[in-house]
Structure 1
Amino acid sequence: MDHDEQSLHASSFGSAAVAYAEHRPDYARAAVRWALEAAPGPRVLDLGAGTGKLTGTLVALGADVVAVEPDAAMLGELRRALPAVRALPGSAERIPLPDASVDAVVAGNAMHWFDMAVAGPEIARVLAPGGVLAGLWNLLDDEVDWVAGLARVGGTEAIGERDTPASWRAVTAGMHLPGNGDAARFGSPEQSVFPHGQRRTAGSLVDTLATRAGMLVMPEQEREARRSAIRAYLAGRPELADGEFTLPMLTGVLRAKRL
C-alpha cells in the first residue's frame, strides 16, 4: 500500500464512526493485562483511540487513561461513550502530552496507521523510563472452518492482512518499532495472542465487516456486492442457524519496553 492509499484508508473511519462504535468489538482483558504487566505505573495513553473500544477495557481494569484520537467524529463517539475519560485531539505523530507523562502507550487496531519514523520518537518522549509500548489487534480465528470460509468470501478488503493469526504474526514481526538507532531505545518486541469472542448475528457481523477500511473506501456498488456475498455465505452456514452466535476471535499483542 503506497502512502496516498494508506492515508485514504486511515482517514476513512470517521464516515462510519457511529457504526464503528456500535459494531466493533472490545479487547480481551487478558491481552490488555499482558500488554501492561511490565508498566511502571497506572498512567496509560490510548493512542489512536477511535471510539474508545480499547479505552473502555483499560478503564474497566483500573488504568488511569488519557485517550488521543485524530478524527473528530471518532473522538465525539468516544466522548459520548466514556464522558469521564480525558479525551484529546491529536495523533501518534503529534501527541498533546508532556514528556515522561505516561507509563504505557497502547494502540488498538491502530499502530499500523502510524508513521513510526515520526511517531516512534514522540511515543518515546511521552513514556516514562521503563514504560511500555503495546499494539493490540482483534483477529478472526480462521482455524475455525466457517471463519476460514468467511475470510475467503470477504477478501482482503473485509478480512485484511492483519486480521487472522498467522498473517498478523508475520506482519507485526516486521513492523518498525523504535530501536537501537533511536535516541530512546526499546527492547526486543514480544508477541502473544489471547482467546476472545463477540456475540453477533449474521446481520451484525456483516455490519462489523463493513467498518473495515478496505470496505469503507470501496465504490458503493462494489461494497454492496461484497456485503451481499458475505450475507449469502453466512446464510448457508449451519453453525449460525440459531441466529445469535459467538464470533471466534483472538486478541494479538505486540509489546516492547522503553529502555
Structure 2
Amino acid sequence: MTSSSPPPPASAGHDPHDHADRAASFDRDADVYAQVRPTYPRDAVEWLLPAGARRVLDLAAGTGKLTEVVVGLAGAGTDVVAVDPSLPMLAELSARLPGVATRQGTAEHLPLPDASVDAVLVAQAWHWFDADAAAAEIARVLRPGGTLGVVWNDRDAEVDWVARFGEILHRGDRLEPAAGHDALTELGGRFTAVEAETFRWVDRLPSGALRTLAGTRSYLLRLPEAERETRLAEVDALEATHPDLAGRTEIELPYVTYAFRARTRGAVPPR
C-alpha cells in the first residue's frame, strides 16, 4: 500500500462519538499509520528523557514513532520496552524496530513489575487514558525519582491551510482532545510539579498524503462511509486549490510539539 492509498472504509455500526469505539479504531491499517503519522522532534525527546536512564517504557507506543527516537537517543545499555493494547500496532512496531521488546497492555494495567523503569514516555495518547488510574500505574512501575514524560504534536493552526485542514478533520467531533497544554492535570500527589516546554518543527509529506493522513484519524475512521468519503474529497480539494499546496510535490506540515514532564516523589536510590 502506498502512502497515498486511503485505508478501506470503516465498518458500519461504529459510533464516532464513543470514546472506547474510537480507541479501538487503531487496530486497522497500522502500516498506513506508520507511513504518514508524524514523528517527534529529537530535541523534545531529549528534554523528556532523563540522563542515565537504563530502562524506558514507551506507553501506548503504537507503531513506534516515539520509540524509534528514544532508541536513537538512548544508546547502548538502555533497554526500551513498548506497551500498547493493539497487537496490529505492536506487530508493525516489531517489524520496524525488531530489537525492541513489546508487551500488550494498557495504561491502567501495565504488564511490568513495581519500580522497574526509569522513565515512562507517552506520545499523543494521554487523552485515551483513565488519567487517575494511569497515573497510579505509572507511579507504580517507575523507580523513585523516575520521570513521566508526555509529548503531543498539534498542527500549527496559525497557518491558513493547516487551520482549514483541521476544520475538515474535526467538524462535529465531540471528542476532539484539548491542546497538549492540558495533558497532565490529574497526577495527584504522586508526582512533582509538571514542567512544560514547546518545540516547533515541520514534517514533510509527499503530495497526496494529506488524504491518507486524514484517513488515519479516529473520528474519520468511525464516520459512516459516505460522510467519510465526503470529508476526504474536501481534503483533496484543499490540496488541489490552496495556493500554499497546489502543484507542490512535497507538503510542509508545521507542528507545535508540547512536552511535559514530572517525577515521582522521592530521591533516586544509589546504584
Q: TM-score, normalised by structure 2?
A: 0.84
User: Given that residues 202 and 255 in structure 2 are in contact (C-alpha distance below 8 angstroms), is that contact kept between their aligned partners in structure 1?
Assistant: yes
Structure 1 stretch 201-210 or stretch 73-82: which is displaced more? Answer: 201-210
Superposed, 1:189-208 pairs within 5 Å as 189-208=194-213
Q: Distance in 2 between matches of 1:193 and 1:205?
A: 24
User: Given that residues 157 and 212 in structure 1 are in contact (C-alpha distance below 8 angstroms), is that contact kept between their aligned partners in structure 2?
Assistant: no
Q: Deviations over 1:149-205 (max 9, x none)?
A: 2222333478x844xxxx514543xx433212xxxx101222222122211134112
Of 34, 38, 52 in structure 1, the residue corresponding to residue 47 of structure 2 is 34
| Bigger helix fraction | 1
2:166 matched to 1:142?
no
Q: Distance in 1 between matches of 2:119 and 2:186?
A: 15
2:4 aligned partner: none
2:266 matched to 1:251?
no
Q: Distance in 2 between matches of 1:59 and 1:156?
A: 37
Q: Deviations over 1:216-245 (max 9, x none)?
A: 111111111100011101211122222212
**Equivalent AA in structure 1 for residue 139 of structure 2:** A
Q: How far apart are residue 121 of structure 1 and its match?
A: 1.3
Q: 1:196–1:49: structure 2 CA closer, same or farther, 3 Å change rule?
A: same
Structure of higher CA gyration radius: 2
Superposed, 1:1-259 pairs within 5 Å as 5-37=18-50, 41-62=53-74, 63-156=78-171, 161-162=176-177, 167-172=178-183, 175-180=184-189, 185-240=190-245, 241-259=247-265
2:7 aligned partner: none
Work out the number of aligned pairs and report it: 245
**Equivalent AA in structure 2 for residue 243 of structure 1:** T
Q: Deviations over 1:72-117 (max 9, x none)?
A: 1111111111111011111111111111111110111111111123
Q: Distance in 2 between matches of 1:122 and 1:230?
A: 40
Q: Distance in 1 between matches of 2:52 and 2:146?
A: 6
Q: 1:122–1:169: structure 2 CA closer, same or farther, 3 Å change rule?
A: closer
| RMSD of aligned Cα (Å) | 2.1
Q: 1:77–1:114: structure 2 CA closer, same or farther, 3 Å change rule?
A: same
Identical amino acids, percent of aligned pairs? 44
- Moved segments of 4+, more than 6 Å: none
Q: Distance in 1 between matches of 2:108 and 2:60?
A: 10
